[in-house]
Amino acid sequence: MIIKSISIENFKSYYGSNNSFDFSEGLNIISGHEGSGKSNLFDAFMWVLFDRISGMKRNERLSEDNVKYVNDRIKNEYFIGKLEGKIKCSVKLDVIIPHEKNRHYQIIKEKIVFLKNNHSGDSIFDRNVWGYENSELIVKWEDSNYNTNEKFNENARTELDRIFPEKIRKYIWFQGEQLNELLDFENKDTLEKAVQYISYLSVYRNMKTVINETHRLLGVKVRNRISANNRDAKKYDRFSNELSESEIEFEQNQSLKVKKEEEYEALEEKEKTQNEKLTILAGFPELKSKEGLLMGKVEDLKNQVSHLGSQEKSKFVKKWMLKGTDKLLTTAAEELTKFEKYRLSLATENKKQFSEGVPGDTLIKEILKLKKCTICGRKVEINSKEYKLIESHLDKNKQVKVLDPEIDNLHGKVMNLKGKPAQLIYRIKNIDEEILLHNETIRGKQIERNRNNKELSDVREKIKELVREKGHDLYNLNAENINSTLSRIRGDKERIKRQIDKCNREIILGESKISRINSEIRGLKNPGDEELVEEKLLKYTEFLKFVIENQTQKEKIDLVQKIEETANEIQKNIANINNIVIVYVKIDTEDYTIRFVDAKGQPNSGHGAQNTLAKMSIINAIIKLSNVKQNKEYPFIADAPTSDFAYEFTSRFFESISNTYKQSIIMTKDLMTEIDNYRNKDFVIKVFEICKDASEEIALTTNSITVIK
Amino acid sequence: METYEDKILNSFSDEIRNDELEEDILKKLLSNIVNKVILYERVGDIGLDQIAKQVTNGLISETENL
């Protein structure tokens, strides 16, 4: 595949539709300062081919409501009302497929966004400001009759996978800064899948099926021919039946073995998934326990706030009601005071009357009883003027006596009541302060609750991030359940392994049985019979069965060794003139584990440029071997591959890339004064320079593209 | 230019030497199987068992005509 051009419209820093790069075969370099849009160009490739942009985790896809990658300047123009309608954000690739007679394809990714009516956001960065239509993938081409064909979305993805298989597509990427996000070098599946794809193993597998079946069919034909000419028909029939049964049994055992091996593989996959879940659980107990702790705290604070709230209702409502009666209470207190004053004045007046007008009660009572004055001895006549006067005074005294207890009683009551309004008024007087204090307490609890809630939501966000990254629902993970599933899976694996072993034994026995019966049948041939054609051909298919078995084993080992050799060769070519110490790639031919070692074979993963170079060389080796073995060429697209390299390394690296690939597109740091040197190098076919248009305002930035060579 | 089919056939070059068998027949048989399997992988319109039948019948008639 050769990429003819990429056209970018309103994607990331590429504003408008006038952003195209026309590439050539050979090495294409795109140079620019930091932040000039090189990585955004790389992202444009990623978006159209993988529906991803850099910074995303492996296997993560863009969500439809994420419109961050739509150019900010165009969004701003719609936001301020300068433009109206819908914004189209698109990336279009024009490619040529040499192994399809140079057929021309267009691969287009499009996203439509628009300003929502009545949105409440106050910036273009608010997510709720933008509405969207789901993104579309379109693949277009012209067939040999000049008819235009178009496929959309799922169908387009199938078409894309045909012209540019994802299995190899993912190896064409190289982003120095995010290398480990693009390929998982620690996972042996990474290399195993690459080997499966670039090798001839799938062809060999199908060839093996055809050869086995051809061999069986030839065997049937041989038996039928012998049977027709044979003198000992009964014996032949018996052998023939026995052979048919054995062959059927043999086939059944082989099919059962394949089925059981598939089941075993599926169980291994499940085991791997469960182990991964356990790792996730074991790796993040801190987050889980923190979440539990915060949930408890938040719940506790929620209860405290709710308790204080209900307390407020019961405690303050009565006081609030009383607060409305404070004037009435003051009046009551004043009335009571007035009444007390009046009572006191009344009592004083009576006392005065008694002390001024008559002698003491006891003395008067004595005089009236004796009917003579106890002081002068004079007789007191009933109904006399003096007696009546004394009696009338005594009546007053009686009245006073009657009045006193009532007044005293009332006095007590008044005294008792007198304090109440004051107490109530005092209580009401403090209610404002009390409520203020209470509210302060509630607010304190609410702040603490909100802080814990925020912390909880941060922890949950981290957990979500992990869920997204690892693809498992952490909330539903339970170590006990996982372990019990794992032990069940392991039990099943052992059982199936025993079944596979049994199948293998049966297959070996079956093979020897079939071979014995065949020789018995051949022994039944009439003397003098010539060798049958089918019989002769059986020797060929027998031999091919052996050949394909050997070749399958050889292919896998050879390819792993070739990846290792090629990777180390690429490294040496880049490093030898600079006397750079490299770390060597070592790949296990059995389980595809990648190791990095020093010249003495000791483990050494290297650092910085060493490690990047080693990993990059593996990727380059895979693509190089794929191109050679599949007879298909795919480009190498890299962003900042030299960011770890010393400056003198870069030129050597470019030369190595140009020798490895029919086409490569490299985005690299600013070449500055070296640009002329690169322009004059034969191995550099095209050089572009991209610049960010000077503007401090992020919403107004855009790129300009200049072709230098 | 070496085609994809050639490359696969050539991958067997070290393995298919056998003094007891005729090289021509062996190469033809292998080539026939490789071509049909590659076509099967690209088009997939008939199954592998049908391909085996075609290979068997073709092989017998060709050998008889030799």
Give the pLDDT band (50/70/90) at residue A4. Answer: very high
Q: Judge whether residue A471 has pLDDT over 60.
A: no
Per-residue pLDDT reduced to its tens digit, A125-161:
777 788 888 889 999 998 878 888 999 988 998 888 8
The pLDDT of residue A21: 92
Segment A686-705 mean pLDDT: 69
A518 to chain B, minimum CA–CA distance in Å? 19
Segment A465-494 mean pLDDT: 77
Residue of A101, A214, A220, A539 to mutate, testing the B interface (most B Cβ within 10 Å of its Cβ): A214
Predicted-complex ipTM score: 0.95
How far apart are the C-alpha atoms of A597 and A607, rounded to whole Å? 12
Q: Judge whether residue A390 has pLDDT over 80.
A: no
CA angle A20-A23-A29, nearest 5°? 100
Residues 6+ apart with CB under 8 A from A229: A525, A526, A529
Residue B37 and residue A547: Cβ atoms within 8 Å? no
Tell me the CA distances in angstroms from B43 to A152, A164, A214, A343, A475, one per residue in order.
Answer: 22, 17, 21, 122, 46
Please name the residue ranges forming H helices in A104-232.
Answer: 153-163, 166-169, 179-182, 188-198, 201-229
Segment A23-35 mean pLDDT: 86
- Tally of CA atoms within 13 A in the half-sphere of A231 that contains its CB: 7
Tokens representing residue A397 in the block: 């005294």
Q: Judge whether residue A367 has pLDDT over 90.
A: no
The pLDDT of residue A641: 64
CB-based contact A672:A34 (threshold 8 Å):
no
Write the DSSP assignment of A671-706 as a string of letters.
-GGGHHHHHH-TTEEEEEEEEE-S-S-GGG--EEEE
Which residue's structure tokens are 């279009």?
A92
Per-residue pLDDT reduced to its tens digit, A511-537:
889 888 888 877 776 655 666 778 788
The pLDDT of residue A402: 43
When CB atoms are compared, the residue of A534, A543, A631 closest to B7 is: A631
Q: CA A542, A546, A551, A554: dihedral to nearest 10 degrees? A: 180
Choose among A193, A167, A191, A199: nearest CA to A587: A191
How far apart are the C-alpha atoms of A188 and A588, rounded to whole Å? 10
Chain A residue with Cα closest to B53? A214
Rounded to 5 degrees, what are φ and ψ at A688? -115, 150
Segment A328-332 mean pLDDT: 75
A244 to chain B, minimum CA–CA distance in Å? 18
Greatest Cα pair distance in chain A: 193
Give the pLDDT band (50/70/90) at residue A695. Answer: low
Segment A215-234 mean pLDDT: 76
Residue of A162, A197, A200, A210 to mutate, testing the B interface (most B Cβ within 10 Å of its Cβ): A210
The pLDDT of residue A489: 93
Reduce the DSSP state of residue A9 to 3 states and report it: strand
The pLDDT of residue A356: 47
Give the pLDDT band (50/70/90) at residue A236. Answer: confident
Proportion of chain A above pLDDT 70, given as a percent: 77
Residues of A whose CB is below 8 A from B34: 203, 207
Q: Long-range contacts made by residues A382-389, C-beta under 8 angstroms, separation at least 24? A: none
The region, left, alpha or beta by phi > 0 then psi within -120 to 50, assigned to residue A51 is left
Residue B37 and residue A207: Cβ atoms within 8 Å? yes
Residues of A whose CB is below 8 A from B23: none
Reduce the DSSP state of residue A665 to 3 states and report it: strand
Computed from CA positions of residues A10, A16, A17, A22, in that sequence, does the dihedral angle turn out positive or negative? negative
Give the pLDDT band (50/70/90) at residue A347. Answer: low
Chain A residue with Cα closest to B50? A210
Give the pLDDT band (50/70/90) at residue A400. Answer: very low
Q: Judge whether residue A357 has pLDDT over 50.
A: no
B62 to chain A, minimum CA–CA distance in Å? 10
CB-based contact B56:A214 (threshold 8 Å):
yes
Residue B36 and residue A534: Cβ atoms within 8 Å? no
The pLDDT of residue A350: 59
Q: Does A542 touch chain B (CB under 8 A)?
A: no
Q: Judge whether residue A105 has pLDDT over 90.
A: yes
The pLDDT of residue A119: 73
How far apart are the C-alpha atoms of A619 and A621, rounded to whole Å? 5
The pLDDT of residue A498: 93
The pLDDT of residue A108: 95
How far apart are the C-alpha atoms of A206 and A590, rounded to whole Å? 22
Amino acid identity of residue A34, one-letter, is E
CB-based contact A326:A425 (threshold 8 Å):
yes
The region, left, alpha or beta by phi > 0 then psi within -120 to 50, assigned to residue A272 is alpha
Q: Judge whether residue B35 has pLDDT over 80.
A: yes
Q: Does B63 touch chain A (CB under 8 A)?
A: yes
3-state secondary structure A473-520: CHHHCCHHHHHHHHHHHHHHHHHHHHHHHHHHHHHHHHHHHHHHHHHH
Chain B residue with Cα closest to A535? B60
CA angle A225-A227-A232, nearest 5°? 145
Residue B48 and residue A631: Cβ atoms within 8 Å? no
When mean pLDDT is compared across A26-30, A348-352, A573-577, the lowest value belongs to A348-352
Residue B15 and residue A203: Cβ atoms within 8 Å? no
The pLDDT of residue A623: 81
B61 to chain A, minimum CA–CA distance in Å? 9
The pLDDT of residue A44: 92
Segment A208-235 mean pLDDT: 79
Amino acid identity of residue A115, one-letter, is L
Chain B residue with Cα closest to A162? B42
Q: Judge whether residue A473 has pLDDT over 70.
A: no
Within chain A, how many helices (H) and strands (E) appear?
Answer: 17, 14
A603 to chain B, minimum CA–CA distance in Å? 34
Residue of B20, B32, B37, B63 to mutate, testing the A interface (most A Cβ within 10 Å of its Cβ): B37
CA angle A514-A517-A521, nearest 5°? 135
Helix H or strand E encompassing A627: helix A609-630
Helix H or strand E encompassing A132: strand A130-142
Rounded to 5 degrees, what are φ and ψ at A25? -70, 155
Q: Where are the beta strands (DSSP E) in A38-102?
A: 86-97
Please name the residue ranges forming H helices in B1-66.
Answer: 4-10, 23-42, 48-65
CB-based contact A177:A643 (threshold 8 Å):
yes
- Enumerate residues 17 to 56 of chain B having a beta carbon within 8 A of any beta carbon in chain A: 18, 20-21, 25-26, 29-30, 33-34, 36-38, 40-41, 48-49, 51-53, 55-56
Average of per-residue pLDDT values in chain A:
78
Give the pLDDT band (50/70/90) at residue A375. Answer: confident
When mean pLDDT is compared across A20-24, A108-112, A113-117, A312-316, the lowest value belongs to A312-316
